[in-house]
A and B are shown apart, each in its own frame.
Chain A
């Protein structure tokens, strides 16, 4: 028994004993197990299935006039729908894209030039920019203006001034008819 133990105690390389190996491997396994068991607690805080299920919104666009803006809720967030005027479309298309902080062509941000659909949440810290109501301050680029920290968006909802790092994102949506979209 003693001979057997001694013959197995030495590991081939280095001076580590069998006990060192067992302590290390058991400790590592325990640490990994503890780390894995944390995951259910963290993941339980992610959106639940019923929250995820409420993820599409259908909108009928017929009542929106040219130049009018509409706010709809999608996943609890406001989505701005803007039926842009020809001037606004032209202003959005004529911008030198390379001069933008988050360079994107207007044509990459719309499915039909007349309809701009963006998530109306400022990409800085999540406030709702002004510009949806007729009397609102739209900022110096005719798009949207965030009152919280002063970000200014153009008529393609691209960031032009202020602290926001990126353009207002375009949500996934499809035209289900000529004048109806499904967001999400």
Chain B
């Protein structure tokens, strides 16, 4: 390299101890000595030791990160064409759809991207629940994840209001009215949220402002999530800690390529929605401009909120319904302490292995109830499913950890992987899983 630094004394640009590899030019070394971003990336991305046995459930973390970037990029561009005013917002979205070059694509990617983001994150969370990824020493990692989920929910709700269709308007009305259940100051809080006496232009303006800023808060919390992750490294399907170098492989190229493959599969699914079913996950009423004088006969939230909506409606008391709905998310913060089992992975927990699947099944039932009008059998089913949701976390999780007899854990990740893998002829004959 021809980069000469006359003022730099000889030896000062020598490779810092933290910069692995020797193939770097002088410029890279010069920069890294002053701003160690390159060695940081090599340490945390390339050489980063990762358990050898991660399965495809471990793809969803990086997928969530990628979809977050997709959402921010499409969102920033959409914001260049969107008008946050009650009388102009709906038309500006239609203009994006009809007149702006590729506006339809950007909006459909952003719209369906929100659904994909929740799908990925819900799977990511289930992975954590199944393999006990929230247990010591990863409790804060899990808690930061729940914080991200809460921020995502707020951001998704705020964004759903922006097109100012009927569903936007009434979603905003119903959700903000939940705060009127707060004793004494409830109505003042709601007026404060609205900036008026109903959801109106001031509400739309502040929702737009917050919808723009919250994703960057999410990025910051994702950063903390990664710091916490890299402190102790990934959990793995066996749920036991790595004991030595034979249990790890570098993240690059092994998991970069695996993540790329997962990303390709995901992008196919995403593209099917964007190009062939762009409004499948939405609600047609949101293509009717907001009308503060008429509530649509059947209002429902987006699919990713349906289970929580069902919990809200299953209680005939306003305050209790709101408390349970928020409680359904906040209870996740306590999971590291509600699960009393010392064994992480459900593979070695003969009862929890099956019980863990009841939670997503229950969430699907709740979602189905939430999508239907609150009458007849749906009310009863919703109440049973709501009861189970809390029963699962508050009773089953603590109880199973006490009474369940876990199966013996493998000695090490390496031993278990070699024992399970057929292509290794030298492996000792052992009972197959």
> What is the predominant secondary structure among interface residues of chain A facing chain B?
loop
B48-56, B169-177, B334-342, B422-430 - interface stretch: B169-177
Which residues in B have their C-beta under 8 angstroms from that of A127?
A: 170, 173-174, 295, 299
User: A169 → chain B, closest Cβ, in Å?
Assistant: 10
Give the A-binding residues of B (Cβ under 8 A).
170, 173-174, 176-178, 180, 191-198, 200, 202, 206, 292-295, 297-299, 313, 315-319, 321, 374-375
Given A124-B318, A148-B295: A45 touches B177 (CB 8 Å cut-off): no
> Which single member of A126, A128, A130, A148 contacts B293 (CB below 8 Å)?
A128
CB pair B374–A45 under 8 Å, yes or no, is no
User: B318 → chain A, closest Cβ, in Å?
Assistant: 5
CB pair A148–B321 under 8 Å, yes or no, is no
Which residues in A have their C-beta under 8 angstroms from that of B321?
A: 163
CB pair A163–B317 under 8 Å, yes or no, is yes
User: B194 → chain A, closest Cβ, in Å?
Assistant: 8
> Which single member of B173, B196, B293 contacts A51 (CB below 8 Å)?
B196
CB pair B375–A51 under 8 Å, yes or no, is no
Given A46-B195, A127-B174, A163-B318: A150 touches B293 (CB 8 Å cut-off): no
At the interface, yes or no: A71 with Cβ under 8 Å from chain B?
yes
CB pair A46–B313 under 8 Å, yes or no, is no
Nearest B residue to A162, CB-CB: B316
Q: Which 4 A-B residue pairings sit nearest by Cβ, starting from the closest?
A: A75-B197, A126-B177, A76-B198, A127-B295
User: B308 → chain A, closest Cβ, in Å?
Assistant: 14
At the interface, yes or no: A30 with Cβ under 8 Å from chain B?
no
Give the B-binding residues of A (Cβ under 8 A).
42, 45-48, 51, 55, 71, 73, 75-78, 121, 124-128, 130, 146-150, 162-165
CB pair B292–A163 under 8 Å, yes or no, is no
User: B142 → chain A, closest Cβ, in Å?
Assistant: 31
CB pair B202–A51 under 8 Å, yes or no, is yes
CB pair B192–A42 under 8 Å, yes or no, is yes
Which residues in B have their C-beta under 8 angstroms from that of A164?
A: 318
Nearest B residue to A161, CB-CB: B316
Nearest B residue to A75, CB-CB: B197
Give complex CA distance A51, B375 in Å. Answer: 38
CB pair B195–A45 under 8 Å, yes or no, is yes
- 26 A-B residue pairs with Cβ-Cβ distance under 8 Å, sorted by A, are A45-B193, A45-B195, A46-B191, A47-B191, A47-B195, A51-B195, A51-B196, A51-B200, A55-B197, A73-B292, A75-B198, A76-B197, A77-B292, A78-B292, A78-B293, A125-B178, A126-B180, A127-B173, A127-B295, A127-B299, A147-B298, A147-B299, A148-B174, A148-B295, A163-B316, A164-B318
CB pair B197–A125 under 8 Å, yes or no, is no
**15 other A-B residue contacts (CB within 8 Å) besides A150-B374, A165-B317:** A42-B192, A45-B193, A45-B202, A47-B197, A55-B197, A71-B293, A75-B197, A126-B174, A126-B177, A127-B295, A128-B294, A147-B295, A147-B298, A149-B313, A162-B316
Nearest B residue to A119, CB-CB: B197
Nearest A residue to B379, CB-CB: A150
Which residues in A have their C-beta under 8 angstroms from that of B206?
A: 45
